[in-house]
A and B are shown apart, each in its own frame.
Chain A
Amino acid sequence: MNDLALFFSNIDPGEIALASWETVAMLIGSLALSVALGLPLGVWLSMTSPTGLAPNRLTYGLLSLVVNVLRSIPFVILFILLIPVTLALVGTSLGVRGAIPPLVLGAAPFFARLVETALREVDRSVVEATQALGASKRQIVLHTLLPEAMPSLIAAVTVTAIALVSYTAMAGVVGAGGLGDLAVRYGYQRFQTDVMVVTVALIIVLVQGLQMFGDALVARFHKR
């Protein structure tokens, strides 16, 4: 017991709680915005794709290019590249607020691709049957594609949330705060292994919790 207490001697519960809150705040804020931006972008991609409802090679090519470029830049580099933009948008490049623009720009294109794939995987005969019933394109998207893809879309939100957890940890390295920041400042720079262990454990709990919650939602929406 004493050994254990000794091992965790560097732990400051207040600081851990604050860092956890920062991570959760970054996650919620960036996830909400990523979904809000990525969903329409994904629908647009799927509509304009060669097999979509309104194929448009030029639009699809441009959207694809932007999405691919944003997705291929490593997140830490994207964060640094975006500092001027972030400053202009939210007035600071530090803390939770400063982390949200780069997190969204990193995650929204990722989510958009997952949305595109989810919509493409909706059974073609369902889309055709809806078309044959005289549905407009808007009705096909709203009443057929999105509801039919709901389990995949929820899974996509889960995957994006988990990716965002790891992005927030990286953002912590460059000034965003949160659990990642704690792990680097204490666990890495000051060799406080106990802080490292606790932050990693909390991140694992967070990821596990997200995955289980997401899976439960998928199961609820799955009627196939």
Chain B
Amino acid sequence: MSLIQFEAIAKRFTASGRSQDALSDVSFAVKRGEVFGIIGLSGSGKSTLVRLINRLETPTRGKVLIDGTDLASLKPRNLIQLRRKLGMIFQQFGLLSSRTARQNVAFALELAKPRLDAGDHTRVDDLLNRVGLGDHAHKYPSQLSGGQKQRVAIARALANSPDILLCDEPTSALDGESTQGVLDLLAELNRDLGLTVVIVTHEMDVVRRICDRVAVLDHGRLAEVGDVAQVLFDPQSDAARSLGRHLLPVPPAGTGPSADRLRLTYFGEVVTGDALSAATQGADVRFSILSGQVSALKSVPYGHLIVDIAGPDRALVIERLQQRGVRVEAAA
């Protein structure tokens, strides 16, 4: 059974007489233990969607189910209990500026019980160590870098041992290095604790680096949902195509179009294997790489090349590539 399920969700905001559909007819599910991305342009409804999960927003129509429970059926007390099982982090961190890093993490526990015991204090220290901030426990947020603040926020979100961590643009206020650090931490928590991570972003690169699956939102509608590899390399919607385009190699300027142009995509061991060299072994072709990228989806390496293959044995080479697990498509 899926952990989080959206069923025909619609959300309409009415502000000062004007109403706006932030979400229309959105249905999909997030599985337990996956890192799930929600991507879309600004204003496409990503934040609204993720905030439905812990009921910071309520849907106008449709249902949100967590572990099969319809959130609409929860009484206020149960809602508070639910929220304790859902961690959430924000672009702007949301740390209390009047409390130290340590006190911010302890805050999550204090809300459930006013007097913390020795075990709770140990837990707070463990959490700070886990996010790599053991040495900064007594600093105030103003004394921490953006990346460190987000780590404190993550430690705080984990304090009540949630099953799900919701992240609304967790790295959008961070520089490249801090972004990498926070994404690595999220991936590690997913791996080590089996934490289900839902991450909202407008950057396909974030999705590429840590997500298993992704939903693409376009003006409040679900454009597509699927494995990252599929959404990135074989997008079905214009929204997904335009969000992922800048990650894909393009032929360099000045090479002109060619009828021989192909797009090769391959994953996993094919990357380090002999597929490319073996395919051209003894074949009468001209094989030239125009552009390419070898990188990784989460921890799966992939290669993505734009090549021209011309010559009498072109068909043979294509067949050999496909036999060795390389996807071959025409690239105009």
Q: Which residues of A contact B (CB under 8 A)?
A: 123, 125-126, 128-136, 139, 143-144, 147-148, 150, 221, 223-224
Contact = CB atoms under 8 A, between A and B. Distances in A.
Chain B interface SS verdict (over half): mixed
Contacts of A135: 80, 111
B81 interface: yes
A133 B84 contact: yes
Interface string B73-99: 000000011111011111111111111
A129 B98 contact: no
Contacts of B108: 133
Interface string B269-293: 0000000000000000000000000
A129 B56 CA distance: 10
Given A143-B111, A148-B96, A129 B84 contact: no
Given A132-B56, A132-B94, A150-B98, 10 more contacts: A123-B92, A125-B94, A129-B94, A130-B94, A134-B84, A135-B80, A135-B111, A136-B80, A148-B96, A148-B98
A93 to B, nearest CB: 43
23 contacts: A123-B92, A123-B97, A125-B92, A126-B96, A129-B89, A129-B90, A129-B94, A130-B111, A132-B54, A132-B83, A132-B88, A133-B83, A133-B84, A133-B157, A134-B80, A134-B81, A134-B83, A136-B80, A139-B111, A148-B97, A148-B98, A221-B98, A223-B141
B140 A128 contact: no
Interface centre among A123, A126, A129, A136 (most CB of B within 10 A): A129
A128 B90 contact: yes
Nearest to A223: B140
A125 B91 CA distance: 8
B216 interface: no
A223 B90 contact: no
B94 A128 contact: yes
Contacts of B94: 123, 125-126, 128-130, 132
Nearest to B109: A133
Contacts of B56: 128, 131-132
B111 A223 contact: no
Contacts of B153: 129
A200 to B, nearest CB: 39
Contacts of A130: 94, 96, 107, 111
A224 B107 CA distance: 18
B96 A144 contact: yes
Nearest to A127: B94
Interface in B121-163: 140-142, 153, 156-157, 160
Nearest to B143: A223
Contacts of B140: 223
B112 interface: yes
Contacts of B54: 132
Interface string B36-59: 000000000000000000101000
A123 B140 CA distance: 16
The 10 closest A-B pairs by CB, nearest first: A129-B94, A134-B83, A125-B92, A132-B88, A125-B94, A134-B84, A134-B80, A223-B140, A147-B98, A125-B90
Nearest to B142: A224
Interface centre among A132, A135, A147, A221 (most CB of B within 10 A): A132
Nearest to B140: A223
Contacts of A134: 80-84, 111-112, 160
A220 to B, nearest CB: 12
Contacts of A144: 96
Nearest to B88: A132
Contacts of A223: 97-98, 140-142
B6 to A, nearest CB: 18
A143 B86 contact: no
B93 A125 contact: yes
A36 B107 CA distance: 27
A150 B108 CA distance: 20
A90 to B, nearest CB: 38
A164 B203 CA distance: 54
A3 B201 CA distance: 78
A155 to B, nearest CB: 15
A40 B75 CA distance: 28
A133 B99 CA distance: 16
Interface in B162-184: 166
